[in-house]
């Protein structure tokens, strides 16, 4: 996936009702713009409504994709320990990852600074008032086949608007990705029944590697983040180029992006918010851990994240890229190996993390996801 804005504009106009809001009266301001659209429903399916067809022709209804909000008690008891068969794990993963995920996305430098949207997509009114725009409003329709171990999703970016100066939500770009099956594009994919996953994407023509970490909020299955670390690869050397973040909410069963959360969106633009405090991330952490190992042959790109007991980690707060929304990531070389992590502090003293490790030959060795809590001194 190219890092620059796509040269071709993919547009899709949809009538909306929106609320007007006035521009700020002071220039040179960084704002969290949020498109204000009413909920839109579309009926452009070849199949009957709410019956979905997988890429291999199999059909299944969203009943298998249904979401449930779980209580804190249920979540804490589940952790990452499970003895379910592999087929059952994928089926559960498919249920939790599938659906319409709407939210906001932004790019950050390796120092954690937000990157402004291209000037060509920023409304003239914003430019006149020197308002900085960092966030895309996004959609991520996702569908995983519970039987065939395949998954497809789209990342859709919508052009920013000011109030009701436009009467349509316009798609700026669409990027589709496929996991498993004959259309597989992923180099490695580790999944957990909760809906969390880690994916490795190669961009051969630009010598880029994207590590995508999808983390579900353990206390709210309808809230997730996707953090994508973009590396330039030279031989066995990994150089971080930038970090891409999507904060998303679940809005219903899969409809291939034909439903926009709009005014019902429960989140807002975030890129210009304050970064996570290093002191909140540092210290001793402990929690359940799930691991997927990959061999150098690369014969099997899909691996289940399996329970690996309890892990303990120590962070000193340094060498972290601190991001908004209580997020962070890191990268380090250790004995010739390249290892790193991303993390989400979803509550004070509670975090969910995703780690990876590449060998000295540049081959992926291991991916893990952990649910951690801080350990008090002297405990």
Q: What is the CATH number of the domain that holds 85?
A: 2.40.128.20
Proportion of the chain above pLDDT 90, given as a percent: 61
Is residue 319 within 8 A of residue 310, CB to CB? The reply is no
Q: What is the per-residue pLDDT for 163?
A: 65
Q: What is the per-residue pLDDT for 91?
A: 96
- Domain-located, residue 102: yes
Q: How many domains does the chain have?
A: 1
Is residue 153 within 8 A of residue 138, CB to CB? The reply is no
The SS3 assignment for 317 reads coil
The SS3 assignment for 91 reads helix
Pair of tokens at residue 274: 């304050």
- Domain-located, residue 327: no
Structural domain harbouring 141: 40-275
Pair of tokens at residue 262: 């709009």
Is residue 119 within 8 A of residue 104, CB to CB? The reply is no
Chain segment 244-301, per-residue pLDDT in tens: 999 999 999 999 988 665 555 677 899 999 999 999 999 999 999 999 999 876 677 9
- Domain-located, residue 26: no
- Domain-located, residue 50: yes
Q: Give the whole-angstrom CA distance, residue 70 versus residue 157.
A: 30
Q: What is the per-residue pLDDT for 57?
A: 39
DSSP state of 15: B
- Domain-located, residue 288: no
Q: What is the per-residue pLDDT for 335?
A: 83
- Domain-located, residue 295: no
Q: What is the per-residue pLDDT for 295?
A: 83
Q: What is the per-residue pLDDT for 237?
A: 87
Chain segment 87-123, per-residue pLDDT in tens: 799 999 999 999 999 999 999 999 999 999 999 999 9
Is residue 369 within 8 A of residue 305, CB to CB? The reply is yes
DSSP state of 195: S
Q: What is the per-residue pLDDT for 280?
A: 95
What are the Cα distances from residue 242, in Å, to 115, 156, 189, 248, 321?
10, 20, 21, 20, 10
pLDDT < 70 positions in the chain: 1-86, 163-168, 259-265, 297-298, 377-379
Is residue 321 within 8 A of residue 328, CB to CB? The reply is yes
The SS3 assignment for 125 reads helix
């Amino acid at each position: 996936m190219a890092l620059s804005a796509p040269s071709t504009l993919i547009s899709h106009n949809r009538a909306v009702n929106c609320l007007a809001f006035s521009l700020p009266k002071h220039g040179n301001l960084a704002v969290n713009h949020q498109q204000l659209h009413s909920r839109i429903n579309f009926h452009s399916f070849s199949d009957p409504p709410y019956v979905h067809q997988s890429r291999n022709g199999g059909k299944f209804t969203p009943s298998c994709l249904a979401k449930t909000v779980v209580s804190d008690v249920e979540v804490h008891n589940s952790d990452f320990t499970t003895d379910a068969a592999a087929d059952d794990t994928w089926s559960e993963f498919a249920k939790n990852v599938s659906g319409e995920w709407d939210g906001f996305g932004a790019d950050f430098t390796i120092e954690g600074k937000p990157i402004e949207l291209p000037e060509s997509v920023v409304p003239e009114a914003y430019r006149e008032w020197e308002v900085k725009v960092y966030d895309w409003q996004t959609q991520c329709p996702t569908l995983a086949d519970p039987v065939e171990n395949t998954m497809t999703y789209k990342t859709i970016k919508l052009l920013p608007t000011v109030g009701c100066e436009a009467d349509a939500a316009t798609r700026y770009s669409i990027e589709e990705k496929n996991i498993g099956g004959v259309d597989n594009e992923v180099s490695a994919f580790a999944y957990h029944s909760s809906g969390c996953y880690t994916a490795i994407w190669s961009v051969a023509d630009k010598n880029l590697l994207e590590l995508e970490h999808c983390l579900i909020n353990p206390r709210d299955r309808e809230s997730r983040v996707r953090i994508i670390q973009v590396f330039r690869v030279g031989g066995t050397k990994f150089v971080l180029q930038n970090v891409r973040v999507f904060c998303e909410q679940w809005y219903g069963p899969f409809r291939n992006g034909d439903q926009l959360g709009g005014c019902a969106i429960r989140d807002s633009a975030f890129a210009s918010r304050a970064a996570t405090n290093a002191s909140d991330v540092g210290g001793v952490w402990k929690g359940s851990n799930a691991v997927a190992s990959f061999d150098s042959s690369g014969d099997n790109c899909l691996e289940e994240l399996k329970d690996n007991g309890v892990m303990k980690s120590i962070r000193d707060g340094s060498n972290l890229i601190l991001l908004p929304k209580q997020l962070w990531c890191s990268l380090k070389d250790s004995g010739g190996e390249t290892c790193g992590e991303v993390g989400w502090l979803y509550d004070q003293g509670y975090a969910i993390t995703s780690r990876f490790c590449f060998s000295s030959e540049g081959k992926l060795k291991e991916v893990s996801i952990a649910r951690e809590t801080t350990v008090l001194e002297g405990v």
